């Protein structure tokens, strides 16, 4: 098979488009002919400085496609099923092996293009807002990186839950586009201090739930902007700056909560998370939630796709197509 591989971590130009051995499914695995790859934030970070489990290495958490072979113990799927999968790596290729427990059937009415974008961003957004953030109707939610995959999912979910939705983005144009998805208050973090602006918009109270996928110095601001009994969920380091020490001293007197979140751990330990992602696929099939795709690159152009994401140009998901 063909795959986008690299032999060392670094900038997007480390990618090479090469012929590599086909993956072989184990007893509880499915083998998928890849239709679309959704490039996740973790994919770009792993390419930049992650672990090379194999050499050459095939990066990538998530993709959709058609089941072409099954492990002997697989019971939930059949050859020919349309599926979306997640895994530690391996998505940037023509074929991908994934565990049965990390694979979902794509409902009728959902394209393979849209399905490729669902498990990681929609699952992360759902858990950050509701399982860990405990967001309820009438509360306020601040979503960082609103134009990214998790951000676009979280804005829609918070709006559906009856919350007042705030989001940050790098341009007024992106924030304007997010209004159609349920955004109430947009904050351009390039031109405004998001803590001061969110405090102003809430008459000094602060926000009830923050979903922080940026990390670094932004995380301290996310803590500082919390209302009394507010909850902040830290879910990534999209800002590409190493996490620094944060001051949590004010959190005790304000009965606030700071939680870390990683979807992979929830999927590994709890069947609840698998069902939650299945629910979100069904909501997309019903038209209650939307996937936003910015553009699609050929798999051999993986370097250009990663560079486009890292240039902060994208609005929604950037896909690869083998």
Identify the pLDDT of residue 101.
Answer: 93
Find where tokens 């480390």 sit: 14
CATH of the domain at 146: 3.40.50.720
Find where tokens 């993956």 sit: 23
* pTM for the structure as a whole: 0.95
Pairwise CA distance, residues 40 & 316, whole Å: 11
Contacts of 308 (CB under 8 A, 6+ apart): 295, 297, 314, 318
Beta strands at 16-19 and 293-298: parallel, antiparallel or unpaired: unpaired
Last-in-domain residue among 224, 249, 264: 264
Same domain flag for 130 and 17: no
* Inside any domain, residue 278: no
- Digit-coded pLDDT (tens) for 209-221: 999 999 988 999 9
Domain ranges, residue 250: 122-264
Identify the pLDDT of residue 242.
Answer: 60
Pairwise CA distance, residues 60 & 40, whole Å: 7
Of 152, 37, 148, 110, the residue nearest 281 (C-alpha) = 110
What is the tally of structural domains in the chain?
2
Same domain flag for 66 and 177: no
Same domain flag for 97 and 204: no
- Digit-coded pLDDT (tens) for 141-184: 999 999 999 999 999 999 999 999 999 999 999 999 999 999 99
């Amino acid at each position: 098979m063909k795959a986008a591989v690299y032999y060392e971590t670094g900038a997007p130009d480390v990618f090479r488009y090469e012929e590599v051995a086909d993956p072989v499914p184990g007893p509880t695995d499915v083998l998928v002919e890849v239709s679309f790859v959704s490039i996740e934030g973790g994919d770009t970070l792993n390419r930049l400085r992650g672990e090379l489990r194999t050499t050459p290495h095939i990066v990538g958490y998530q993709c959709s496609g058609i089941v072409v072979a099954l492990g002997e113990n697989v019971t939930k799927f059949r050859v020919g099923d349309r599926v979306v999968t997640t895994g530690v790596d391996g998505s940037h290729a023509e074929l991908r092996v994934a565990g049965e427990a990390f694979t979902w059937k794509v409902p009728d009415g959902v394209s393979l293009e849209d399905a490729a974008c669902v498990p990681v961003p929609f699952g992360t957004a759902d858990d950050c807002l509701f399982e860990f953030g405990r967001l309820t109707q009438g509360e306020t939610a601040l979503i960082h990186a609103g134009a990214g995959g998790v951000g676009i999912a979280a804005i829609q979910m918070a709006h559906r839950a009856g919350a007042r939705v705030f989001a940050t983005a790098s341009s007024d144009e992106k924030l304007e586009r997010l209004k159609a998805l349920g955004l109430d208050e947009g904050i351009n973090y390039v031109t405004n201090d998001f803590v001061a602006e969110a405090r102003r918009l809430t008459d000094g109270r602060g926000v009830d739930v923050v979903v922080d996928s940026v990390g670094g110095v932004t995380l301290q601001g996310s803590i500082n902007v919390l209302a009394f009994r507010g909850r902040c969920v830290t879910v990534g380091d999209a800002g590409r700056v190493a996490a620094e020490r944060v001051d949590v001293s004010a959190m005790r007197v304000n009965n606030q909560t700071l939680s870390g979140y990683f979807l992979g751990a929830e999927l590994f330990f709890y069947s609840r998370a698998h069902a939650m992602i299945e629910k979100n696929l069904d909501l997309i099939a019903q038209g209650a939630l939307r996937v936003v795709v910015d553009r699609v690159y050929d798999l051999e152009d993986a370097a250009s796709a990663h560079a486009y994401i890292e240039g902060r140009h994208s609005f929604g998901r950037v896909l690869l197509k083998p």
